[in-house]
Structure 1
């Protein structure tokens, strides 16, 4: 063992050093110091097992020395060398962790020997306890690493093992992630132990990935938010500026372990998706609920803008939607679903067959695998801009009246549309409108309407299980015989033949 002695009286220092070395030749007096500052530096350098220190010393007194060592977590087994009138410091010294007091004026070799023997006994017990604790930590880590595999099922043996290792205390699981670099597990354990020692609660750390550690922590019934914030702030205070911390709910039994781990993992993925740091617990993660219906209404409105061919507005609105996503942080699965559905609707409803060949649906599916809102935004806006380029390049330049007629047909093709109705809509004579439409599109109005209805019918036959009659009704032709006749004329197949071949 290493021993440091601090006293401003030279005779005391020499007597102590001589007798310690005489009585315990196996121990080392690492330093003798004449003031508290010297003693502090020596304790930092030599990390002694035992410290003898006077209270009243120049430069830095004994109490200030003890406070500093305790703050730094380097306070050894401490014995105060005191005078009669130093006992006024006794209560404060005991709070700081002082183990014994020796009266300098009455100290003898036998008393010094007994004092060091008591220190040896205490330190040996502490060392044994540390070994037991280290062994238990190893067992808990091994249990967690094995148990959290997906293929592990709970057995009576596992339940008993968990009860032996943990007991009946409440716990939570936290995931600590560092976005920028690999975690130093020794440092993680050192910081978490430092935090939980003050609270007198258990904690075990397991490295899950290079940049992710799992913390199994004892917790009070309603303490998760306060506890996770406290741990996070402790890591920040030790210079870890890019970490995030996510906790599941509270559990008590072995059956809760996997569920709470998955909760912490979902909170961590959610936080990573929105590129946030700090603390975000599972209790704050939004699940798809009524907000899903609100967002669906919003996206239907966006599809109407595409019907109006207002592409610049569509792109601006999508940018605003992503800004809202970042602010409101809805369920990430909902966000991916809405955007994939939206892109596919544009693909099927606004591009013709030739235009669709320029794209791959497999590429659109990557939307559902995006790991961050930034990646998702990039993909969606790229697809939308590509759609706009294709549509603008292939769309003929029509007069305002013809554009209005085409838009009216696209929005009302399910209804019984007449030439008179269209002429009234654009405030034109129907004969002139019919002539103008044929001149610009090379189709008469009714042919254009019928072709548009057939395109919609093809899509319904491919994507739904609607009957031929129902399909006809949905595209504005409720007479099934007439619908089948015009469909065959348009495609060369009956509706049923077309469905079978696609």
Structure 2
């Protein structure tokens, strides 16, 4: 429980009850004390109290009167009455009027602990039920805001169910990028993640406070003033439009104004295609300048809000279509589909520029990899045609016009082994074929596969095959 209020005119008894309550094993955030019913009533009227432990006999206002007065409060706490044997009949009567339990003096610690435990369980059940109903209410409100296809009967059902608990007076809807936890307060309802936005429904009398506190520093779209739950859908749409206007104008706070409208101008599809084609080339920065030009056209009202949003949607869609495989392989972060997931236009443009630069880098790397693979394939063909000659890595890398060090690295990445071993393998395979199928002398075989020194050839062959060329030929003949 959050708060326990002890109402007792004798200080020592109050302190004793407090000590026993804190040692009861029940979690209590705060214990408050007062010496009569009048003080207690003032506290209960000003803040939410979970549990009250009150004596019956007290000056100014006794416990019986206090219990009756509490029933008229906005928040009625759970009540425990403390009585002596002479007042037991009063305690029984109070139990019939909402009091949860009673304690006889002198109070026993185990008895108090048992009662507090029981009341804590009831408080938890109440809170769980309240949370459940609140979540159901929130989901229904979201449906009312978002579902344009909701039929009349469904709307009427929601209106009948929640109108009585909704604001009686005027209210305003705020659409914002606020995503923190929010503790419900009177006159303010917060709906988390309605199409990626935080939605505040605020009593008109609370608007100044909420704007200066929770919404301060955020980017906010504000509806006009509305009355009644039946206007909720309209209020929500106004707030979203205003939020979009705040986003596009880099403004923290915009109030919906239906008069704000820009002329629709169709942006040439050809220029969007040109921008997309520049990605993956050395003209990437030119593409970004074209992006800046589109933004400038929008800011001077040459492009409407809707057309501007459509342009960026088209840019993303075309990029995903053309470069889908590259994006998938690189794990390049996608740009969020809903612009309002970003604070404002400046943040969005910064992000999309960064995304385009990253995509450009991935494309250039992949293209370079592709060109390198083509060059290595040419190198392998050259080696196959010229392995009989005095061949080395410098000769081959020069032939395909590739840096010596880069060639060494890319060759190994492509073939799985270094240049020397690759060339040796080709020469040894050919030597084994000649030894097994011809009568050529060992010295002649050595020259044919690229070794002028036959002794060096025999050493290399034995190291590679485990036997000398002569032994290999004999084994091959025996095997046939």
Pairwise same-fold verdict (TM > 0.5): no
Short-chain TM bin? 0.3 to 0.5
TM-score, reference length from structure 1? 0.37
Point out the structure with max Rg over C-alpha: 2
TM-score, reference length from structure 2? 0.38
